[in-house]
Structure 1
Amino acid sequence: MQKPEPIFALIDCNSFYASCERVFRPDLAKTPIVVLSNNDGCVIARSADSKPFVKMGEPYFQIKHKLKQYGIVAFSSNYALYGDMSERVMSVIESMVPAVEVYSIDEAFADLAGVLGDLEALGRRIRAQVYKSTGIPVGVGIAGTKTLSKLANHAAKKWQVQSGGVVDLRDQIKRDWVLKKCSVSDVWGVGRKMTLHLEGMGIKTAWDLSKTDPWMLRKKFSVVIEKTARELAGTPCLELDEPDPPKQEICCSRMFGKRLTEIAPIKEAVATYMMRATEKLRAQQSLCKRIRVSIRTGMFNPEEAKYANGVLVELPYPTDDVRLMTKAAVDAVDRVFRPGFKYSKAEVLLVNLCQKGEYTEDLFAISQPAATEKVMGVLDAINGRWGRGTMRLASVPTDPDWGMRREMMSQSFTTRVDQLWTVYCR
């Protein structure tokens, strides 16, 4: 039986972080929005109507006056909300297509090979169903290669009025028109430096790149840009990726909301970060044999003394027990803390990870008790149902004063029972 022709769809959420905020703030439907990084540092996301006034990465303290001038509302990043909304969007997409590769928090590739019927109509149904189920607007790009589907998605957003948010580039005439209208910088994987190199060679549009000799591009640049050119020309080089293998290291670190000079709040922070790191560890069914704990001061203020140090901690056996790992990490803080400094950041790094059953146990060595797995399973089940942090170690505070500055954060409408959306009926 002949294998069906490859067809990909790229479903991408429009201004995802800002759209998540608008779902629960319909009064801001026509108000420009920006979302800030950790500690309300700089702009990391913008709604479409804020882009003419604010650049990505602009420090918040420098643009407060500009936001007020143009009526732009700023939000602190609410990753719990964004992560949960992303899962809801992906669940809807997965229910409507044969296979999905979740590419990032706000976009996914769908494999439509062998799907019968009008695929552009399917794209419109996906778009409508995602919006109906989550309130998040998406664009859909359809093509015979992943690179072209990304470009089709870009076209769906750029010409949204004409396209209705869905563009199918399998038609040769339509594909050539879009390739000629899009800059080479609009192509997936072509960064700023590569754009400069290509433009210097006279390759200024996606059309130009699709017509360039791929072997020459491979010789001059890399196999990546060669595959990009081939995909733009309609030759599939990239397939739907398999699920990522388990990570070999897991890191959790944050800047403190203020400088810390005492050891007690630093230990609280390390315990908090270890709680999150072990959640990730158990999610990928791994065990940890070694931990690295590090702390440091700010590195850019010339008036502050600088210090950074870290220490490796060997665990008695491969484990995913948050209790054992937190005690080891918190005790390690005593070995690296030095009084007289203003600390700005702590980090826990889980290293030497292995999957359960991958390591050879010593006949006489102690191993993780069977009861531990049951306890951790109950912990994860409760937090999975009622929200992260519902059950936690006593050493993990609920609202520490050293926590990240998030003075403009919205409620966790979908992940915390005490912050559910309230609807009043008259």
Structure 2
Amino acid sequence: MPVFALVDCNNFYASCEKLFRPDLKDTPIVVLSNNDGCVVARSREAKLLGIKMGVPVFQIKAEMQRHGILAFSSNYALYADLSSRVMRTLEEMAPRVEVYSIDEAFLDLTGIESAISLVEFGQQVRERIGHWIGITVCVGIAPTKTLAKLANHAAKKYLATQGVVDLTNPDRQRRLLALVPVDDVWGVGRRLSKRLNALGITTALDLANASPRAIRDQFSVVLERTVRELNGESCIELEEIPPTKKQIVCSRSFGAKVTHFELLREAVCEYATRATEKLRKEQQQAKVLTVFIRTSPFKDNEPQYSNSASGELLIPSCDTRDFIELANHLLKRIWKDGFRYTKAGVMLSDFYDPGMFQPGLFDEVSTRSNSQQLMSVLDTINQSGAGKVFFAGQGTKKDWSMKREHLSPAYTTRWDQLPRVK
């Protein structure tokens, strides 16, 4: 029988912010979205105070003052680095690991129970990650990935479990399924649960007891797999190698309205640069670039405008210079004076593995000399934390940058912001 574990970091973004601030151990904190707009993460203390996910921060300012809730801007570099450390630790402890999201991973524990009890192994995972990295995790263990998700949910909810739940026993599975609303099942969600509720399926146990064939006929083969997984039949394999992306999007809302072409051009160049960095990380090349711009859809008293344009390179590339040049050309096509722009972005698509594109017989193809070596040097410098090299088109002041007034230091990725112990 296969055995899966789902390891999930508790309140991950908030935990990252508290990690280097021991003075905030019991302080309620929230992490904000781009431009410090909405709450996207909450510490346990903030949750107990009733702070809801996604609520605009201006609506809870009074509550934040009353309860001493601190706000932090999203520090993506910090979260990504700590996530990488957690995943590397898990890869040392399990033979096969699927990184499911920035704070979750599935582990293949098949056969490990012959050497150590599954609960004891789960406790070892918690202890090692807590000791080595400082992040608290919960572990759900079960014969299918869907049941492992539910086991992890129970490990977080019920303190008596001490953060580890083993659901390999069928009787324990049934007892837990009876307590879980059907919309908490992995892959169901609120919209689908309404249709299931209309059929009298309100709990995970109701869904497990449903006929797989009838569920497939009325809904989909995906939901049929969920029914089978709830009954202990493994239908969803572990994906050790993530599927290749089909597109890369980089966009941000501006911290202030943009009315000048040069400022918008800087932003588009910045996004094109970030997108191609991600492209190289995927070891891919792209042929198509799309640029899009828009004004605020929420300002009824202002003129509205949005547009996009796509362009294609003669041959696929991962050279930032090629996409900056194309992005500037596309932006000129869609730019219009007299508008207050609030967002822009780029999208890369039509991906190829390096060396796999066959140009046309009569295409005049020329590539930049030493392109690969130059991009490799740029990436090495920019990822070292010791310095930053950028293209002039990205600008220096970046007055359009998104608002991040509560940004914590880059504790682990920049030498000049390392935490100091006095």
TM over 0.5, yes or no?
A: yes
CA distance in 1, matches of 2:51, 2:274: 33
Matched, 1:159 2:158: yes
Kindly provide the CA deviation profile for residues 208-244 of structure 1, in whole angstroms up to 9, marking residues without a partner as x. Answer: 2222222222222222222112111111111102423
Q: How many residues end up aligned between the 2 structures?
A: 418
1:186 partnered with 2:184: yes
Of residues 257-266 and 308-317 in structure 1, the stretch that sits farther from structure 2 once superposed is: 308-317
Gaps of 5+ in 1: none
Distance 1:119 1:245 in 2: 29
Q: Is the 8 A contact 1:35 1:75 kept in 2?
A: yes
Corresponding residue to 1:60 among 45, 51, 57: 57
The CA deviation at 1:203 is: 2.3
Q: Which amino acid aligns with 1:46?
A: R
Alignment of 1:22-421 (within 5 A): 22-52=18-48, 53-115=50-112, 116-117=114-115, 118-160=117-159, 162-362=160-360, 365-386=364-385, 390-397=388-395, 400-421=398-419
Equivalent position amino acid for 2:147 in 1: L
**Cα distance in 1, alignment partners of residues 225 and 137 from structure 2:** 27
Contact 1:292 1:349 in 2 (8 A): yes
Task: Summarize deviations over 1:329-384 as a string: whole Å, max 9, x none.
Answer: 12432222211111111111222221112111346632324511011111111222
Q: Output one character per residue of 1:248-302: Cα deviation in whole Å (capped at 9) or x when no partner.
A: 2221111111111111111110111111001011111222223222222112211
Following TM superposition, by how much is the alpha carbon of 1:199 offset from its aligned partner in structure 2, in angstroms? 2.6
Offset from partner CA, 1:126-161 (integer Å, 9 cap, x none): 11111111111000000101111111101101112x
Percent identity over the alignment is 49
CA–CA separation in structure 2 for the residues paired with 1:398 and 1:132: 40
What's 1:21 paired with? Answer: 17
Q: Displacement, 1:109?
A: 0.4
CA contact (8 A) 1:318 1:367 kept: no
Distance in structure 2 (CA, Å) of the matches to 1:293 and 1:90: 34
Verify the 8 A CA contact 1:292 1:311 in the aligned structure 2.
yes
Three-state SS of the structure 1 residue aligned to 2:234 is: coil
SS in 2 for 1:51: helix
Residue 399 of structure 1 deviates from its aligned partner by 5.1
SS at match of 2:303: coil
SS of residue matched to 1:395: helix
CA–CA distance in structure 1, aligned partners of residues 108 and 295 of structure 2: 47
Amino acid at match of 1:208: D
- State the 1:398 CA deviation: 5.1
Structure 2 contact 33–39 (Cα < 8 Å) conserved: yes
Amino acid at match of 1:150: K
Q: 2:14 is paired with a residue of what secondary structure?
A: helix
4+ long deviations beyond 6 Å: none
Contact 1:318 1:368 in 2 (8 A): no
Other structure's SS at 1:83 match: helix
Q: How many Å separate the matches in 1 of 2:290 and 2:191?
A: 35
Please give the TM-score of this superposition, normalised by the length of structure 1: 0.94
Question: 2:315·2:357 contact (CA, 8 Å) conserved in 1?
Answer: no
Shift of residue 14, structure 1, vs aligned partner: 0.4
Letter matched to residue 54 of structure 1? I
Query: How far 1:396 moved relative to its partner?
Result: 2.2
What is the CA RMSD across the aligned residues, in angstroms? 1.7
CA shift, 1:169, in A, is 0.7
